[in-house]
Structure 1
Amino acid sequence: MTLATHGNEKYQSSSLIGRPAEWDAMRVELRQIGPGAQNCVRPACTELVYILSGRARVRRTGDGVTQEGLAREGTSWLVPAGTHETRLELDGSVECLLVYLPETLLERSALDTYGIDANAVRLAYVGALTDTTLSQIGRALHGLIGRDTQPMDRLLAEGLRTTLAAHLIGNYMADSPQAARAPSLDGRRLRRVLDFIDARLGEDISLEELAREACLSQFHFSRLFHQATGLPPHRFVIDRRIRLAQQMLAKEQLSIAEIALDTGFGSQANFTRMFRKVTGTTPGQFRGRHRTVRADTAISAPFSAID
């Protein structure tokens, strides 16, 4: 889904930092916004602004509601799709993350499960939010800006998108609808998902594909999978890939570059970075230690036989 974003049109006193990150139904921009009046637009998609650094007093008016607050590190500002914003002024400069989401936020199937009419989903026009969950999501998305696209980044981004959308609906709806009973992820469907992951470790795995295997919406699947395994889908897939890579490194039949591709990391550099992050060592160091262990075992074996 291509979003009709409006960053350049609205924030005319801003500069885009680096290359925007874009996935299905979400776009993330890093911008430095300067002081002064901005060019108000009626957004076609929902906009969340997360402040990374800087400080500015913000005065804004949307749908006839005037707000004033301090934009500082860790605060968030929400502009729902369709908001008639007529005033936006800053008295200082801030570096921020702009996250764009579709008007309906989540798939209609996910909303239907909870008895929520997608056409009735309407977020509130709120700002200067100090929300721990929004801060965690904002920092995670910031970490994806400027990186070369990797399969696990896509899975992580999709998970963050559904988490963000669900949090906004659960906490910042203009009118909170009555939620219906949530679905579950039983053992049979979970096993089908785990088998799918193991069979596709060397390929690009999307959140949509995993949710389809479980016959759930992406929103419900992300939450229920985390409950069942203790890990979000993207982290679970990474751990499975690292485990397979360790087995392949110990056998020494393939080069590290070949293992990186066969385990779905896309490149040796990305594989090394993720392997070190998860295990605390590099693939080369891991292989070297196993080689030393095998050599020591071979040397000591005759003496063990004599004993």
Structure 2
Amino acid sequence: MDGHGIAKFRDASLLATSADRPWTLISAEIRSHGAGEIGAFTPHNAEITQILRDENAAVSTRASGGVRQEVAATPGTTWLCPAGIREEATRLSADIPRVLHVYIPQHSFLSGEVAGLGFRAQDLRYQAEVDSPRIMALLRNIQLELGREGSAGGLRMDGLALDLISALARDHAEGGRQALPPRGQGTLDRRRLDRVLAFINENLEQDLSLTDMAEVACVSVFHFARVFQQTLGAAPHAYLSERRLDAARRKLAHGADSLSDIAQASRFSSQANFTRAFTRATGVSPGRYRQAILSH
């Protein structure tokens, strides 16, 4: 899923993108911006922008609807921009080498109980210098997943996206705080848990979403991740990642499938990302793991 970065930031170098990842509720990019002007633009997604690195004491100036915002673009500086507003040209006083852009499309605001808030992409506050520990933590996790793909990254990003929308609705809605539904409490009963685990094991080589799992469990997507973790002691993405890692080990031990085929079956966007993730998890590369198993 793409955001609107290609259309908005035509002169900014693209350093990383989630376009080839199975992310369904948000997308993200890291770009390098040169000094000068970013042309006027009307985004169709809600956008969050955060400075990751700045070595030049840059100042960013932007404006929309008579509101002008001029701030020092230091690492961690974060802006919000709702969908549908006409943002006038943004000016950067100096180069900014690494900037995170997160895009949230309208359909993501309609997921599960989040839809009941009546909070839409265009209801986000036009705000500079966001100071929210919760949002900062969520953006860090998005950046980490963008830089280090996991085998259940799409599922992890579903959860982060819902948490991010909830945090924005609570503290950064134009017109004031939105009341949030209570998060899931308790655990899944044995019958529902067995259905979900069977569904996961039968679909390890498919892209799975929180919505898919929640529907199998007959639980709302907004509550599912929490009750799943309270039942098994592991988040859905962590459980799925471990099951895919087990399947990859079995394929490597069998010796018939190529590394690229195993990477694809494990739902990685590339063999290189699979190799990095497998090595992080096991301490040895897939090739060396296969060699060690087959040599015995």
Same fold (TM over 0.5): yes
Q: From 77, 81, 84, give the equivalent of 1:79.
A: 81
Equivalent AA in structure 2 for residue 21 of structure 1:
S
Matches within 5 A, 1:25-64: 25-54=25-54, 55-64=57-66
Cα 1:70/1:219, change in 2 over 3 Å = farther
Equivalent AA in structure 2 for residue 81 of structure 1:
A
Equivalent AA in structure 2 for residue 124 of structure 1:
R
Task: Give the match for residue 213 of structure 1.
Answer: 216
How far residue 79 of structure 1 moved from its aligned partner, in angstroms, is 0.5
Task: Give the match for residue 203 of structure 1.
Answer: 206
SS of aligned partner of 2:234: coil
Equivalent AA in structure 1 for residue 202 of structure 2:
A
Of the two, which has the highest radius of gyration? Answer: 1
Q: Is the 8 A contact 1:16 1:29 kept in 2?
A: no
Task: Give the match for residue 177 of structure 2.
Answer: 176
For the residues of structure 2 that align with 1:2 and 1:243, how far apart are their CA atoms?
Answer: 31
Task: Give the match for residue 102 of structure 2.
Answer: 99
Task: Give the match for residue 71 of structure 2.
Answer: 69
User: TM-score when scaled to structure 2?
Assistant: 0.76
Q: Deviations over 1:30-65 (max 9, x none)?
A: 222223343222322101112111142223333333
SS of aligned partner of 2:40: coil
Equivalent AA in structure 1 for residue 160 of structure 2:
L
User: TM-score when scaled to structure 1?
Assistant: 0.74
Q: Which gives a bigger RCO, structure 1 or 2 (Cα 8 Å, sep 6+)?
A: 2
Cα 1:200/1:16, change in 2 over 3 Å = same
Cα 1:253/1:119, change in 2 over 3 Å = closer
Q: Deviations over 1:121-140 (max 9, x none)?
A: 72222222344444444344
For the residues of structure 1 that align with 2:118 and 2:264, how far apart are their CA atoms?
Answer: 43
Cα 1:41/1:223, change in 2 over 3 Å = farther
- Sequence identity (%): 30
Task: Give the match for residue 125 of structure 2.
Answer: 124
Worse overlay, 269-278 or 68-77: 269-278
Task: Give the match for residue 193 of structure 2.
Answer: 190
For the residues of structure 1 that align with 2:74 and 2:244, how far apart are their CA atoms?
Answer: 39
For the residues of structure 1 that align with 2:196 and 2:179, how far apart are their CA atoms?
Answer: 30
Gaps in structure 2 of 5+ consecutive residues: none
Q: From 109, 112, 120, give the equivalent of 1:109.
A: 112
SS of aligned partner of 2:12: strand
Aligned CA-pair RMSD = 3.6
For the residues of structure 1 that align with 2:215 and 2:90, how far apart are their CA atoms?
Answer: 42
Q: Check if 1:235 corresponds to 2:238.
A: yes
Q: Is the 8 A contact 2:63 2:90 kept in 1?
A: yes
Gaps in structure 1 of 5+ consecutive residues: 296-307
Q: Is the 8 A contact 2:49 2:100 kept in 1?
A: yes
For the residues of structure 2 that align with 1:116 and 1:81, how far apart are their CA atoms?
Answer: 17
Q: Is the 8 A contact 2:28 2:100 kept in 1?
A: yes
SS of aligned partner of 1:86: coil
Cα 1:25/1:265, change in 2 over 3 Å = closer
Equivalent residues, number: 285
Q: Deviations over 1:150-188 (max 9, x none)?
A: 863433433333332233223322221333444455224
